[in-house]
């Protein structure tokens, strides 16, 4: 009986990890307009607003693609909105980052999909991308 309980627990853990890693990303859920934004860090998310220079959006796009385990989910520079998925190294947890040009500013919004706290990872990622684009 104890052995059966352990097998069920192990199967549940493996199934949960597989779901985290293999669950599809719903573009309509993650690739949305950002709306009002300011420089702020929340629980599980972060936002930044920077001036939109001529090539800033393109430079941010290149900086995001240079990050490890990051891929473009939807959008493009010409569209003015891009959404990326960045996965954590070991567990493969997905974080979503949307970058959007809105007039004379660019809004960046990064958030987690699973869990409650990102331990500051999304805010740190946004700062690295902004610094790389300015560099």
Would you kindly state where each structural domain of the chain is located, as residue ranges?
Answer: 26-134
Model pLDDT for residues 30-81, shown as the tens digit of each residue = 999 999 889 999 999 999 999 998 899 999 999 999 999 999 999 999 999 9
96-105 as b/e, with b when 16 or more CB fall inside 10 Å?
A: bbbbbbbeee
* Both structure tokens of 41: 């860090």
- Is residue 14's pLDDT more than 80? yes
The CATH class of the 26-134 domain is alpha beta
Per-chain mean pLDDT for the chain? 93
Alpha helices by DSSP H, listed for the chain, are 2-22, 27-30, 56-65, 121-134
Q: pLDDT band at 96, cuts 50/70/90?
A: very high
- Is residue 94's pLDDT more than 80? yes
Cβ neighbourhood burial of 67 (10 Å; 0-12, 13-18, 19+): middle
pLDDT of residue 34: 95
């Amino acid at each position: 009986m104890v052995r059966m309980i352990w097998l069920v627990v192990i199967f549940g853990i493996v199934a949960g990890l597989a779901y985290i890693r293999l669950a599809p990303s719903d573009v309509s859920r993650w690739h949305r307009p950002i709306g009002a934004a300011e420089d702020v860090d929340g629980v599980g998310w972060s936002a930044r607003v920077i001036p939109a220079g001529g090539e800033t959006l393109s430079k941010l796009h290149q900086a995001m693609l240079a990050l490890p385990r990051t891929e473009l989910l939807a959008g493009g520079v010409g569209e003015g909105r891009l959404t990326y998925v960045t996965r954590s190294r070991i567990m493969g947890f997905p974080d979503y980052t949307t970058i959007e040009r809105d007039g004379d500013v660019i809004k960046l919004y990064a958030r987690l999909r699973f869990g409650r706290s990102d331990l500051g990872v999304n805010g740190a990622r946004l700062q690295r991308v902004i610094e790389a684009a300015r560099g």
